[in-house]
Amino acid sequence: MKQQKKFWIRENQSIGIWTFLGCIGACLQLSLFRSSVEDIWRNFYYVEQYYMEISNTAFGRFLSYSRVFYSTMAVYVLILSILLFHNLSRSKTKEWIASLPLKQKDIFWYKFRQGRVAYTLPL
Amino acid sequence: MIKVKIENLFKGYGKTKVLEGVSFEVRKGSIHGLIGPNGSGKTTLIKCLTGIYQPDQGSICLDEEEIYDNPAAKMKMGYVADSNDYYPNYRIKEMVKIYEAAYPTFSKEDFDYYNEAMGLNVKKMIKQLSKGQKMRLALILNLAIHPDILILDEPMEGIDVIAKQQLFDMIINEVEEREMTVLITSHHLEEIENFCDSITMIHEGKLTGTGSLDEVKEKATKLQIVFPEGLPEGFAGWKGVLNFSNIGSIYTVIWEDFDEEKKELLYECGAAFVEEIPISLEEIFLYMNKEGREQ
């Protein structure tokens, strides 16, 4: 079972896409239900005083949106980094990559691309 | 002119020694075959040659330049592995971009020209290709970089007869037009015999023979001998006799370092007729390595 799980993390080619779409979805959802987000935000960071002062201004709303966006993106980047690290730590550099005319340090970037998650990144 | 020079190469994995003191040379513009039984160290040798592995001892030079961690030398080299595990989620056209970025000599036009014959759809993902199609892709990608030396590890596995012929023609054209050097390993010894100018044989990590095809073939002689009274006593133990079989009184013998002196000896020992007949590379490979195993 553990083995299967590992395989899934390493081999599921669309995991990057789904994580990304999930995070975008979460952003949209959180933005649509702003009031509940505000509650979460307020309770989580104990900044009621400050928040109450600025929440009625345009800047305050922008800040609350951007906080949601950035914190969601931070979670996305964290998940992606863990998966990528997982990928890199377990993937042996493919032989054709090692045969390319590159210095050993540059081979890392080609190895980076062989991570299945990394395939969602532009070439 | 020497293109590749391998001197006293040692390579092992942990305590296991895979290559022990291998030395040979490959001439520019030649097609050199590397043969040996499974587990003899061919692929390890190829990986040292392509700079994937660092030799434990000894040197591998391409145009007198060390290959390991030397992009300038590796730029002159094309490598087709026995399993071409390109990024499975990349499309062929994206792999072409990677090769274009890695090799300044890569020609997209030439890739398209070769691909006309191979008929690969560039929009297809690598994972959608069959084993044979992946091999074709690897071959034409590496031909399109116009390498000085093309290293092929079991390149014709899984390729149909028509594509095989087309690929051989493409390789031979490059050899004729640009004096490209080719180093090829294969278990199909007939292919090696028809395709190569020179060969190297390795067995259990050690060199058992190297040179032009004719030189290697001269190492052993195939004889048809008629012994009307049967074999001389102790014939199987005679020095140089690698193998023999018979139909009635006609004996077929594979003999290492056969010469006129031995021929006279055969007549003295009751042979009525001794004739040399053509020997194939497969027979040399079979009996030379068999002898190695028995020793």
Per-residue pLDDT of chain B (295 residues; tens, 9 = 90+): 888 999 999 999 888 899 999 999 999 999 999 998 888 899 999 999 998 888 999 999 988 888 888 888 999 999 998 887 888 878 899 889 888 888 989 999 999 999 998 889 999 988 889 888 898 999 999 999 999 999 999 888 778 888 888 888 889 999 999 999 999 998 888 888 888 999 998 988 998 888 888 888 888 889 999 988 888 888 888 888 888 888 888 999 988 888 888 888 888 888 888 998 888 888 888 877 765 444 4
Q: Taking CB atoms and an 8 Å cutoff, what residues of chain B touch A102?
A: 71, 74, 102
Determine the Cα–Cα distance for residues B48 and B205; give it in Å rounded to an integer: 13
Q: Taking CB atoms and an 8 Å cutoff, what residues of chain B touch A104?
A: 69
pLDDT computed for residue B279 by the predictor: 86
Does residue B108 sit at the A interface (CB-CB below 8 Å)?
Answer: no
Does residue A108 sit at the B interface (CB-CB below 8 Å)?
Answer: no
Rounded-to-5 percentages of helix, strand, coil across chain B: 35, 30, 35
CB-based contact A98 B71, cutoff 8 Å: no
HSE value, Cβ hemisphere, 13 Å, CA-based, for A58: 0
CB-based contact A95 B85, cutoff 8 Å: yes
Q: Taking CB atoms and an 8 Å cutoff, what residues of chain B touch A99?
A: 50-52, 74, 77, 79, 81
pLDDT computed for residue B191 by the predictor: 84
Number of Cβ within 10 Å of residue B14's Cβ equals 5
pLDDT computed for residue B121 by the predictor: 94
The structure's pTM equals 0.72
Does residue B269 sit at the A interface (CB-CB below 8 Å)?
Answer: no
How many angstroms separate the CA of residue A17 from the nearest CA in chain B?
A: 13
How many angstroms separate the CA of residue B134 from the nearest CA in chain A?
A: 13
Q: For residue B236, what are the contacts with CB-CB under 8 A and spacing of at least 6?
A: B244
How many angstroms separate the CA of residue A14 from the nearest CA in chain B?
A: 10
* B114, B169 contact by CB (below 8 A): no
Angle of helix B161-178 relative to helix B108-118, nearest 10 degrees, comes to 150
Q: Taking CB atoms and an 8 Å cutoff, what residues of chain A touch B90?
A: 119
Per-chain mean pLDDT for chain A: 61
* B126, B89 contact by CB (below 8 A): yes
Smallest Cβ–Cβ distance between A99 and the set B79, B94, B98 belongs to B79
Q: Taking CB atoms and an 8 Å cutoff, what residues of chain A touch B89?
A: 13, 116, 119
